[in-house]
Structure 1
Amino acid sequence: MKSEIIAALLILLFAYTAFQKFIGHGTFLNTLHNSALLRPVAIFVSWSVPITELAIVCLLLFPLLRKIGLLCSAVLLTVFTIYIVCMLLFSSSLPCTCGGIISSLSWKQHILFNIIFIGLALYGWYSMRETSDTNNNIAIRRSQTPVT
């Protein structure tokens, strides 16, 4: 149950941000061009990020793929967080490539927001791992029980 709620939150987050990037693609691309760090790969990033976010949404939607979706969510959010930290440390210009409500967060709030969602994704992944380990142990015990 925990992983379903966490997956739903991540689905909302990634679907929302992906659609914001698609709807405002020109603005998103322009913002990426303003980032010294991403300028050389701005076009690639402008398409790959929202496509990756939607791919993660698809993974999270299906119970059999949810575990990998939770892990991918944590990885992508970690990459975003590292990018933000690098921008804060090494760039004088801090363009925000986020959409909607998230773009109203300060950089420190954004980092905290990402860390919370990284923690949720990892917790959801771990709880699924724990559940599958328990189910595997039950299945093993049942297969070892002699049939009479």
Structure 2
Amino acid sequence: KLWDATKASGMKQNKYGNIEDIVKEVCVVSPSGILWQQNNKHESAHGRVSTGTDLCSLMFGSEGNFGIITSAIMRIFPLPEVKDFESVIFPCFENGFGFVRDIAKMGSLKPASVRLLDNDQFRLGQALRNEESYMKRTMSLVIKAFLQL
């Protein structure tokens, strides 16, 4: 599933960039055929754009209005050596907002993603979580019992 046409950023944008930063090649077609193709040298089939409309910018975020992205080559990244998740509770939302703003200024030291939730949003998310299935709970108990042997 290609999300290029939505110009999405995603939760890990701090580390990996926006979609337009990681797409290396893309092909866009319309009912009349190939509308635009970008190669890995960031040159469009229509040549360099020094004035007027930049087709790349037009396609990213168009959500299919000008054509359908039929293929894309994306930059890939190695899996992180460590995944670590932490939570911090602040006395008020403003303190949390200040913390997130300070993290944004950290440059290369900032984490891949940061989320700030207010208490109502957090509680709603917890209430909407799927309960673990009976089979999954049972298997978890069996594995724990086996490991204690």
State TM-score, norm by structure 2: 0.20
Greater Rg by CA: 2
- Structure with the larger strand share: 2
Greater RCO (Cα-Cα under 8 Å, separation 6 or more):
1
